Amino acid sequence: MEAHLHDYITMLRVERNLALNTIDAYRRDLKNYVSYLETKGLNSVKGIKQKHIRGFIRALADIHLSASSINRALSSIRSYHTYLNDEHWVENNPSQLMEAPKLPRKLPDVLTVQEVDDILDAVDESAALALRDLALLEILYSAGLRVSEACNLNLTGMLLDNEMIRVSGKGNKERLVPMGSRALDRLNDYIKFERPALSRKRKTDGIVFLSRNGRPLTRMSVYNILKKWSQTAGITKKVSPHTMRHSFATHLLEGGADLRAVQEMLGHADISSTQIYTHLDKEHLKEVHRTFHPRW
């Protein structure tokens, strides 16, 4: 079995030209796999059955390997058995119908309403580009935009008289998102009083949020702006533009908003993507229960 494994690793390096780190990961996973098979008395790849692969996966789980690491090992095994089958070393692929363990869905980090307020209050209105930063942070939270959507906002989509903005989301799908009055005020102030000076520096194609040299803000620029004012506010949580989006959705649901309305505002094609926020809402309810119920 070692000879077959050696040939497979050589194929990955020579024919598929994979990165060294990737090859090392394959080698490590498959060496453990082959060692396990040998402890079960197997000395030929032709004797490997699905029960042996399942046994190896169980052994990984028994040593408390994470689901993501087990999935990676199973992916390596599948690829190896596909190679053995393609090279006619075996007649069938015992890994073909095996399902990977389900990964636990990680709940996103969320700010409290007070923490959002603290970040917005931390912006020094006398600082350079303060109007832009305030408008940007308000819109990330008030409209729950993805960072790419905020970077691509265009003046043609500013339907401020209707308290709405037009957003171009994933797959260039457009949606209308309502805006809160405070966000609208901040956006108006920026567009009227600060953006004109930035837009004179170069052609902007109507992009709303500009850097000091008149270029559209990048994703990293938005992250750095949020990080700067979060640190100023004394927020110790890891905060990103997506944290503001998560907070937007969670706070709406905590306030009693309809799930499908939140789905529409977030621009989720599938409501299952929005349902993760119902889990966050339940965590909030459990925390309230733990804090205030007399039997805790």
Query: Which residues are marked as active site?
Result: 146, 170, 242, 245, 268, 277
Q: What is the CA radius of gyration of the chain?
A: 26
Task: Give the angle subtended at the CA of 198 by the CAs of 194 and 204, to the nearest 5°.
Answer: 125
Q: Which two tokens stand for residue 62?
A: 């028994």
Instruction: Tell me the C-alpha to C-alpha distance, in Å, between residue 97 and each of 50, 61, 81, 93, 286.
Output: 9, 19, 12, 9, 39
DSSP string across 224-242? HHHHHHHHHTT--S---HH
In the beta sheet, which residues pair with residue 223? none
Q: Which two tokens stand for residue 185?
A: 């005020």
Q: How many residues does the chain have?
A: 296
| Chain CA centroid to CA 78, Å | 27
Residue with tokens 């609208």, as numbered in its chain: 184
> Which residue in 250, 245, 241 sits closest to 151, CA to CA?
241
107 neighbors 243 (Cβ within 8 angstroms):
no
> Which residue in 285, 287, 282, 280 sits closest to 249, CA to CA?
280
201 neighbors 213 (Cβ within 8 angstroms):
yes
94 neighbors 48 (Cβ within 8 angstroms):
yes
